[in-house]
């Protein structure tokens, strides 16, 4: 089960880092391939670290304990928990890097307004991505490791 958790963390970290780095660079109005790549690599490394340090499944099980496992309400709350863990950290890194780069090149970027705007947009994008991709990735990873999902099927007669 630890392999499945690590694979899920990696898949979600890479996907969220890619999407949020791309979004951050596009909404800044100054997209550059190098800026995107730097943001992507740094946010991926930090996201992977979060995934290793924060056991998502036990955390969501503890916080959603009374909700049925396959309910939409539980899925929405699990998505919100993941979004609240990953998105602010990735967004903070992207905006800090953008402010640093702007200052390095003689410009200025007001940190707080840029961060709050990007955080709002990133929360929405992160939530949608996590909601859509988490079950998809889980299915693929369970299949990869040969774990059957759902009730056992009866053999055809």
The mean predicted confidence, pLDDT, of the chain is 86
Domain of 9 in residue numbering reads as: 2-51+71-144
Count of domains for the chain: 1
Confidence of residue 54 (pLDDT cuts 50, 70, 90): confident
Q: How confident is the model at residue 76 (pLDDT cuts 50, 70, 90)?
A: very high
Q: What is the pLDDT of residue 157?
A: 43
Give domain status of residue 57, yes or no.
Answer: no
- In tens, the pLDDT along 89-142 reads 888 888 888 777 777 777 777 888 888 988 999 999 999 999 999 999 999 999
- Residue 91 in any domain: the answer is yes
Q: Say how far apart CA 77 and CA 121 lie, in whole Å.
A: 19
**Domain-embedded: residue 31:** yes
- SS3 of 153, please? coil
- The mean-pLDDT minimum among 61-65, 120-124, 153-157 falls in 153-157
């Amino acid at each position: 089960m630890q392999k499945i958790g690590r694979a899920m963390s990696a898949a979600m970290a890479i996907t969220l880092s890619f999407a949020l780095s791309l979004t951050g660079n596009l909404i800044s109005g100054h997209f550059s391939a190098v800026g995107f790549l730097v943001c992507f690599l740094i946010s991926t490394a930090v996201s992977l670290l979060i995934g290793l340090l924060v056991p998502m499944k036990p955390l969501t099980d503890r916080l959603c304990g009374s909700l049925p496992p396959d309910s939409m309400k539980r899925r929405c709350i699990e998505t919100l928990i993941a979004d609240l863990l990953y998105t602010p950290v990735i967004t903070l890194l992207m905006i800090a890097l953008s402010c640093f780069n702007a200052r390095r090149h003689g410009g200025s970027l007001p940190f707080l307004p840029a961060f709050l705007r990007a955080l709002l947009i990133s929360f929405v994008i992160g939530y949608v991505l996590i909601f859509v991709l988490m079950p998809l990735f889980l299915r693929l990873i369970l299949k990869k490791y040969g774990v059957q999902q759902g009730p056992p099927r009866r053999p055809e007669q």
